[in-house]
Amino acid sequence: MNGVDGCMTTCIRCLTTAAPEPLGLCPACAVRTRLELASGLRRLTDYLAAWAAFDEWCRARRDGTAFA
Ligand SMILES: [Zn+2]
């Protein structure tokens, strides 16, 4: 009984270590998951920036938008 709400479960990622509710991740997996999330958000930001640049290019050519 150590979790935020007093409940423990098995880590949903490694399936071997006890993990506190409500996150359900052991400390090691919580760190890995946070790093993957940060990396994913960086990649999503780059992707959306590329779409915005493409949209700007389309508009500059008066060729509609990237979404048309
Ligand atoms: Zn784990």
Distance 52 CA to ligand 1 centre (A): 38
Q: Look at residue 31 and tell me if it is in a domain.
A: yes
Distance 36 CA to ligand 1 centre (A): 14
Distance 30 CA to ligand 1 centre (A): 7
Structural domain span for residue 45:
8-60
Please give the tally of structural domains in the chain.
1
pLDDT tens digit sequence for 9-67? 999 999 999 998 888 999 999 999 999 999 999 999 999 999 999 999 999 998 788 87
Distance 37 CA to ligand 1 centre (A): 16
Q: Look at residue 68 and tell me if it is in a domain.
A: no
Distance 41 CA to ligand 1 centre (A): 22
Q: Is the pTM of this model over 0.75?
A: no
Per-residue model confidence (pLDDT) at position 68: 65
Q: Look at residue 26 and tell me if it is in a domain.
A: yes
Per-residue model confidence (pLDDT) at position 2: 43
Q: Look at residue 67 and tell me if it is in a domain.
A: no
Q: Look at residue 56 and tell me if it is in a domain.
A: yes
Following DSSP, what letter does each residue of the chain receive, concatenated? --STTS-EEE-TTTSSSEEETTT---HHHHHHHHHHHHHHHHHHHHHHHHHHHHHHHHHHTTS--TT-
Q: Look at residue 3 and tell me if it is in a domain.
A: no
> What is the Cα–Cα distance from 67 to 33, expressed in whole angstroms?
33
Q: Look at residue 52 and tell me if it is in a domain.
A: yes
The answer to whether residue 8 scores a pLDDT higher than 90 is no
